[in-house]
Amino acid sequence: MSLNDLLQCWADDAATRAIALCVGGVGNPDKFQRIAARVTAAKPILALASGDPDRDALFARAGVALAGTPRELLQRAAACAP
Protein backbone atom coordinates (compact mmCIF):
# COMPACT_ATOMS: atom_id res chain seq x y z
CA MET A 1 0.00 0.00 0.00
CA SER A 2 1.40 3.39 -0.97
CA LEU A 3 1.14 6.77 0.69
CA ASN A 4 -1.27 7.78 -2.05
CA ASP A 5 -3.48 4.77 -1.26
CA LEU A 6 -3.49 5.69 2.43
CA LEU A 7 -4.41 9.30 1.71
CA GLN A 8 -7.37 8.17 -0.38
CA CYS A 9 -8.48 5.79 2.36
CA TRP A 10 -8.22 8.44 5.07
CA ALA A 11 -9.99 10.98 2.85
CA ASP A 12 -13.04 8.72 2.76
CA ASP A 13 -12.95 7.87 6.48
CA ALA A 14 -15.44 10.00 8.42
CA ALA A 15 -13.60 9.29 11.68
CA THR A 16 -10.36 10.80 10.35
CA ARG A 17 -10.37 14.52 11.14
CA ALA A 18 -6.75 15.26 10.21
CA ILE A 19 -3.83 13.37 8.70
CA ALA A 20 -0.35 13.63 10.21
CA LEU A 21 2.59 12.35 8.18
CA CYS A 22 6.25 11.67 8.68
CA VAL A 23 7.42 10.12 5.44
CA GLY A 24 10.78 9.34 3.93
CA GLY A 25 9.65 9.70 0.35
CA VAL A 26 6.80 10.09 -2.08
CA GLY A 27 6.60 7.42 -4.76
CA ASN A 28 4.75 9.33 -7.47
CA PRO A 29 5.01 13.09 -6.76
CA ASP A 30 2.46 14.16 -9.39
CA LYS A 31 -0.15 11.70 -8.15
CA PHE A 32 0.59 12.65 -4.53
CA GLN A 33 0.09 16.33 -5.31
CA ARG A 34 -3.27 15.69 -7.01
CA ILE A 35 -4.55 13.45 -4.21
CA ALA A 36 -3.25 15.62 -1.36
CA ALA A 37 -4.74 18.77 -2.89
CA ARG A 38 -8.13 17.05 -3.08
CA VAL A 39 -7.88 15.71 0.48
CA THR A 40 -6.80 19.04 2.01
CA ALA A 41 -10.01 20.57 0.70
CA ALA A 42 -11.89 18.33 3.16
CA LYS A 43 -9.44 17.79 6.04
CA PRO A 44 -5.98 19.04 6.94
CA ILE A 45 -2.83 17.13 6.13
CA LEU A 46 0.13 17.90 8.37
CA ALA A 47 3.65 16.67 7.72
CA LEU A 48 6.97 16.80 9.44
CA ALA A 49 9.29 18.94 7.33
CA SER A 50 11.83 16.65 5.74
CA GLY A 51 14.70 19.04 5.22
CA ASP A 52 14.58 18.09 1.53
CA PRO A 53 13.67 21.35 -0.25
CA ASP A 54 12.07 19.55 -3.21
CA ARG A 55 9.87 17.33 -1.03
CA ASP A 56 8.89 20.18 1.27
CA ALA A 57 8.01 22.30 -1.78
CA LEU A 58 5.88 19.44 -3.12
CA PHE A 59 4.04 19.26 0.20
CA ALA A 60 3.48 23.02 0.22
CA ARG A 61 2.14 23.01 -3.36
CA ALA A 62 -0.31 20.27 -2.38
CA GLY A 63 -1.59 22.29 0.59
CA VAL A 64 0.12 20.14 3.23
CA ALA A 65 0.99 22.14 6.37
CA LEU A 66 4.58 21.58 7.47
CA ALA A 67 5.73 21.28 11.06
CA GLY A 68 9.35 21.80 12.03
CA THR A 69 9.48 19.28 14.87
CA PRO A 70 7.64 16.10 15.88
CA ARG A 71 6.26 17.94 18.90
CA GLU A 72 4.82 20.71 16.71
CA LEU A 73 3.33 18.08 14.39
CA LEU A 74 1.56 16.36 17.28
CA GLN A 75 0.37 19.66 18.78
CA ARG A 76 -1.09 20.79 15.49
CA ALA A 77 -2.73 17.39 14.93
CA ALA A 78 -4.22 17.48 18.44
CA ALA A 79 -5.67 20.91 17.72
CA CYS A 80 -7.76 19.30 14.95
CA ALA A 81 -9.40 16.87 17.37
CA PRO A 82 -13.01 17.48 18.44
The model's pLDDT over 44-73, given as tens digits with 9 standing for 90+, comes to: 999 998 888 998 899 999 999 999 999 998
Residue pLDDT, tens place only, 10-42: 999 999 989 998 888 888 889 989 999 999 998
Average pLDDT, the chain: 89
- pLDDT at 82 exceeding the cut of 80: no
User: How high is the pLDDT of residue 36?
Assistant: 93
pTM of this prediction? 0.85
User: What are the residue boundaries of the structural domains of the chain, listed by start?
Assistant: 3-78
In words, the CATH class of domain 3-78 is alpha beta
Give the pLDDT confidence score for residue 1 in this predicted structure: 79
SS3 assignment, position 33: helix
SS3 of the chain: helix, strand, coil, percent, to 5: 50, 10, 40
